[in-house]
Amino acid sequence: MTTNPPTRRRVAIITACTVAGLVVAAVGGLAIGPTIGTWHVVGAALAHLGLGHSTLTPLQWTIVWQLRAPRMVLGLLAGAMLAVAGATYQGVFRNPLADPYLLGVAAGAGLGATFAIVNVGQSLTTPTWTPLLAFVGAMGAVTVTWLIGGRRLRSSTATLILAGVAVSSLLTSAQTFLQQQSTGSIARVYIWLLGSLASASWSSVWLVLPYVAVCVAICVVAGRALDVMSVGEDESRSLGVPVRRVRFVVIAASSLGTAAIVSAVGLIGFVGIIVPHIVRLLVGTSYRRILPISVLFGAGFLVLADTIARTVLAPSELPLGVVTALVGAPVFVVILSLRRPVAV
């Protein structure tokens, strides 16, 4: 029996469910936590809308508004950006294994952050340099990758990927060398690399928001172009798509947004590669649908994972990358077994 691609109605239902899940996750991110009863928070939120009265102490309100709220919003931004960047990369490279860190973003950010953290102890840098150097490292790495593998006239996506592998290997070994020279900082570097939303504040949210907003918008709008490009470079060109230009814009937007997120929260894995696949299994292979739904799904998914990460072993927190994998992998397997997987 041939399965037809999902109908519009099915896609609408899935979109609605995703939005609902996102809202629930967001509310959970605010209300659920180890130190305040969940319903008290919900009650306080309603009180602010004029219904009933709040039972939270000022200290508790501070926790909700200054700690949980920016953390939840940053989680939404990070999940949305990583998911859409991963989906975009998968579309541009026509490779199901592509993730947002493919072209060196992770290695570059890791090197930058390691350099910053190692040198704080030597009083050469301050902790505020860490996100900045991570960002510079990430964008620097992608730029070098593009210069090596993307500029030649007949460069293919394969040369870009290979360039990314080369650049990543080089930068990762440089990072390892730095770490070895300063073993006292290994734990701190490792914690940064694992990725965490624990340091979220409203200022980091405002800092990251413009990048994420612009880059997510560019990626989503590129959905139609990615659909055309799924027939390969030559055929896309014959259909009128300026392939190299589209590729450049889309890769630049994904990389920039990912670099901004990575500099704020470290290297959160799994979201960028698996969320697009989950969405693809649900709504089919058209990037016009995959991209916007990945934005919503990724946002809710990461906030859900973060809520689990910070409550299960409170006050300790599980590394976010561990939780995303533990939560996401079974979900992926279930959906995989229910439906024939569709190739990228």
Partner 1 sequence: MSQVVVHELSVRIGKKELVSSISLEIAAGTWCTIIGPNGAGKTTLVEAVAGLRAPSHGSVTIGRKSVSSMSERERARTVSLVPQHPVVPEGMTVYDYVALGRTAYHGLFRPPSAHDRSVIDGVLERLSLGEFRDRDGATLSGGERQRMVLARAFAQSTMVIVLDEPITGLDMRHQMELLELLKTEVADCGLTVVATLHDLTLAGQFADRLVLLDHGNVAIDGPASDVVRSDELVASYGMHLRVVDVDGSDVVVPVRK
Partner 2 sequence: MFKPLRLVLALSLSVLVLPLMSATSGATTHGPQCIVSLSPSATETLFAIGAGRQVQAVDKDSNYPTTGLPTKRIDSLNPSVESIIGICKTSKTHSTHKPDLVVISYDANSIKAKLTTLGVKVLVQNAPATISAAYRQILQLGRLTGHLTKASSIVQSLQRTIAADTSSIPSHPGKTLTAYYELDPTFYSLTSTTFVGSLMKSLGIVNIADAKSTTADFGYPQLSSEYIVSANPKLIFLADTVCCSASATTVAARPGFSSVSAVAGGEVIGLNDAVASRWGPRLAQLMNALTAAVKSALKNSKLWP
Please report, as ranges, the residues that interact with partner 1 according to CB under 8 A: 2-5, 221-222, 224-225, 227-228, 230-232, 234-235, 237-242, 246, 284-286, 342-343
What are the structure tokens assigned to 199, written together? Answer: 């340091």
127 binding partner 2? (CB under 8 A):
yes
CA distances from 319 to 65, 276, 311 (A): 23, 22, 12
The amino acid present at 169, given as its one-letter code, is S
- Tell me if 142 sits within 8 A of 104, measured CB to CB: yes
**Given the complex with partner 1, which of 287 and 332 has the nearer CB atom?**
287
Backbone conformation region of residue 266, classed left if phi is above 0, alpha if psi is from -120 to 50, else beta: left
To partner 2, the closest distance from the beta carbon of 320 in angstroms equals: 13
Q: CA torsion 312→314→316→320, rounded to 10°? A: 40
Q: Which residues contact 41 (CB under 8 A, 6 or more apart)?
A: 30, 31, 33, 56, 64
**Given the complex with partner 2, which of 63 and 221 has the nearer CB atom?**
63
- Tell me if 205 sits within 8 A of 77, measured CB to CB: yes
Judged by CB under 8 A, the residue of 316, 337, 340, 343 near partner 2 is 316
To partner 2, the closest distance from the beta carbon of 37 in angstroms equals: 12
CA angle at 76 for the pair 41 and 201, rounded to the nearest 5°: 70
Nearest Cα neighbor of 81 from 209, 221, 226, 202 is 209
124 binding partner 2? (CB under 8 A):
no
What are the structure tokens assigned to 272, written together? Answer: 């960028």
To partner 2, the closest distance from the beta carbon of 135 in angstroms equals: 19
Q: Which does 5 bind (CB under 5 to 8 A by kind): partner 2, partner 1, none?
A: partner 1
36 binding partner 2? (CB under 8 A):
yes
126 binding partner 2? (CB under 8 A):
yes
Q: Which does 62 bind (CB under 5 to 8 A by kind): partner 1, partner 2, none?
A: partner 2
To partner 1, the closest distance from the beta carbon of 22 in angstroms equals: 25
Q: Which does 230 bind (CB under 5 to 8 A by kind): partner 1, partner 2, none?
A: partner 1
Number of H helices, E strands in the chain: 15, 0
303 binding partner 2? (CB under 8 A):
no
Q: Catalog residues that contact partner 2 under the rule CB under 8 A.
A: 33-36, 58-60, 62-63, 66-68, 70, 120-121, 123, 126-127, 180, 183-188, 191, 196, 198, 200-202, 310, 314-317
